Amino acid sequence: MDESTRTNAKVWHLLAHDGTAIERLSRALNLPPIVAQLLLNRNLGEQAQAERFLSCPLTGLLEPETLPGVDLAVERILAAIADKKKICVYGDYDVDGVTATAIMLTCLKLLQANVDFHVPHRLEDGYGLSKDTLGKLAESGVNLVITVDCGVASLEEAEEAHRLGMELIITDHHEPKETLPRAAAIVHPRLPGTSYPFGQLAGSGVAFKVAWALCKKSCGSAKVTPELREFLLDGILFTSMGTIADVVPLFEENRIFVRHGLARMKTKPPIGLQALLRSAKVEGKSSLGAFDVGFALAPRINAAGRLGTARLAVELLTTVNVGRANIIADYLEHQNSERQTIERQILKQAREQAAQNLSAPAFVLASAEWHPGLIGIVASRLVDQFARPVLMIALRDGHPHGQGSGRSVPNFRLHEALQTCDADLIGHGGHAAAAGFRILPEKIDAFRDNFCAVVANQFGKEPIAHRLTIDAEIPLSAMTLGLMQAMDKLEPYGAGNPAPLLLSDRLQIVGEPRKVGAGERHVSFKVRQGNKELKAIAFGMADRLPDLMSQAGQCCLVYTPRWNEWQGYKSVDLEIKDFQPGPVARLG
């Protein structure tokens, strides 16, 4: 990337700290002061509150029957099983949808249901319920459709299911419309007129709650059979994966799911997941965490749905055949490698388009060479680089309309902006941070003008400054194995509980940094402060290497510490989020 595509520098904001509060919490919890400060930064300053957060007991999960709609859904599902009706679990092609499908499908099979599943093809079917697919399911004799991770906004499709004589049960976590779809039961943590205490469950979390309630009801008590208990523990594992991948807030019930699901993943992963862990080269890691799910496992599961069909991913998570699991895992590995190659090509082309209009308050980019399953990932990378909303449109030969995907910046509600531009679009959906849409090619220029006007009206015409919120400034000597082990108590990290961002000033780069990774996009180097020396990796920053070395290798770094394991030996590496050459010069 040349200077013409460089963006405004990130504004570093170091959070204030209260020494008295830090010392009090540190003593009460017997934790290092830095960890106490991290808890305070996350508004966990009261001892009892912090202890609950750190202990995260499995008993903290709310009983499944308290989730709105569960009782009615369970009643209808068990009646369908008893009547030997044909059931179809209707899922989605992303990780949350795949894991939710695996949970529901496995549960119903264990309960002796006549059940199969359907996950849409991303390119042919699109997201959510499809009238055409419902028609095919009806023709095949399906009596009951159970949605997971979709359906709550599918009003017309629900009417079609009713017209076709199929019963519909919806389990979802997406935003409902003003009118709810016609269904025998709707299970949703934010169902209008209800007051479930935690409304941020992922689709997999909702599916798990229904499956848990089904197990209890079929056993006639809270204590289920050993077989169903093992299934539920695997279900928590799958829920943790969907929860991490869907970037829902990792606190309260979601934190419990992820903490205990990751523990299950380390100790007793199902056959398919064992194969996936092996192919992703994270098998046997003692510090397997949310980072590994988000950046190693989830992309491989997503690759199936992005480049083809997610059916294989569901099969991987539900198979009991070791040979078949290894075959699918190896195929997903190949798909993921292909995805990375195509993604790099799209990113290069999109950057070149963006560079032609760097003064725009937002980017609306389009090409006939882009894969519609990958433009959302690329849009996220461009948002991080250019600090403004990015919409990307894939135009495909033989298709009358383009398929778009967008990512937003903080405090800009993307789905509302698309609603403002509704006249330019065939259809759209999503939420504040991410959205999808369809558009006729001849409408793109007008849509670009209108969308940029909406963004400029809120933020002005200047790019939005990146703001990097830093938890604490520490000397490099403080970054010890003991501190890392103490910080591990804050895991799992994710939305609502971000990984610690730390600042170390006046460091010296040791030796020559190396460009590494596919396309040499990353930079690996060592830094020293006094007698302490650590390895660092800066992902996607190879283009900034001259800047990094511009002060004879003197620099300050903002980073997240990560465990590095090699042949049984553990060390601490620094994952660089930003840097400044020389001493700290900018703090906002």
**Residue 497 belongs to a domain:** yes
- Of the residues 403, 426, 459, which one is the last residue of a structural domain? 459
**Residue 261: predicted pLDDT:** 97
The total number of structural domains that make up the chain:
3
Q: Mean pLDDT of all residues in the chain?
A: 92
Q: Would residue 11 count as lying in a domain?
A: yes
Task: Please say whether the dihedral angle defined by the alpha carbons of residues 72, 73, 76 and 79, taken in this order, is positive or negative.
Answer: negative
Residue 103 shares a structural domain with residue 185: yes
My answer on whether 447 and 483 are in the same domain is no
Q: How confident is the model at residue 126 (pLDDT cuts 50, 70, 90)?
A: low
Give the predicted TM-score (pTM) of the model: 0.88
Boundary residue ending a domain (459, 477, 512): 459
Q: Are 535 and 440 within one domain?
A: no
Residue 536 in domain: yes
Q: With respect to residue 430, please indicate whether it lies within any of the assigned structural domains.
A: yes
The CATH number for 519's domain is 2.40.50.460
Query: Is there a domain that residue 311 lies in?
Result: no
Instruction: Looking at the structure, tell me whether residues 431 and 480 fall in a common domain.
Output: no
- How far apart, in whole angstroms, are the C-alpha atoms of residue 388 and residue 382? 8
Residues 384 and 532 in one domain: no
Q: What is the DSSP letter of 543?
A: G
Start-to-end Cα distance in the chain: 27
Domain that holds residue 107: 60-264
- At 3 the pLDDT is 37
Boundary of a domain, candidates 229, 264, 299 = 264
Q: Is residue 254 part of a domain?
A: yes
In the predicted structure, residue 133 carries a pLDDT above the cut 50: yes
- Residues 476 and 375 both lie in one domain: no
Q: Quick one: pLDDT at residue 458? A: 87
Has residue 523 got a pLDDT over 50? yes
Contact 558, 468 (CB under 8 A): yes
3-state secondary structure of 480: coil
Same domain, yes or no: 118 and 255? yes
The separation between CA 386 and the C-alpha centre of its own chain, rounded to angstroms, equals: 21
Asked whether residue 541 carries a pLDDT value surpassing 50, the answer given is yes
Share of the chain above pLDDT 90, in %: 76
Asked whether the beta carbons of 562 and 479 are under 8 A apart, the reply is no
Examine the domain organization and report whether 449 and 547 are in the same domain. no
Contacts of 331 (CB under 8 A, 6+ apart): 312
Q: Is the pLDDT of residue 18 over 60?
A: yes
**Which region among 42-46, 180-184, 440-444, 565-569 has the lowest average model confidence (pLDDT)?**
565-569
Which one has a higher pLDDT value, 71 or 249?
71
Is 428 in the same domain as 474?
Answer: no
Helix/strand/coil for 581 = strand
**Is residue 334 pLDDT above 50, yes or no?**
yes
> Which CATH number fits the domain that encloses residue 455?
3.10.310.30
CATH number of the domain that residue 199 is part of: 3.90.1640.30
Q: Is 51 part of any domain?
A: no
424 and 499 share a domain? no
Q: How far apart are CA 305 and CA 300, in angstroms?
A: 9
335 found inside a domain: no
**Quick one: 9 and 83 in the same domain?**
no
Residue in the structure block whose two tokens are 């660092």: 536
Largest CA distance in the chain: 76
3-state secondary structure string across 346-395: HHHHHHHHHHCCCCCCCEEEEECCCCCCCHHHHHHHHHHHHCCCEEEEEC
Q: What residues pair up with 502 in beta bridges, in sequence order? A: 472, 559
Of 405, 401, 394, nearest in space to 442 by CA:
401
Banded model confidence at residue 123, pLDDT cuts 50, 70, 90? low
Q: Show the CA angle centred on residue 149, arms to residues 236 and 304, nearest 5°.
A: 85
**Residues contacting residue 571 through CB under 8 Å, at least 6 positions apart:** 535, 563, 564
Mean pLDDT within 118-134: 82
pLDDT of 369 strictly over 70:
yes
pLDDT band at residue 430, thresholds of 50, 70 and 90?
confident
Q: Tell me, yes or no, whether 404 and 481 share the same domain.
A: no
**CB of 76 closer than 8 Å to CB of 167:** yes
Q: Which of 6-15, 17-26, 79-88, 403-412 has the weakest average pLDDT?
A: 6-15
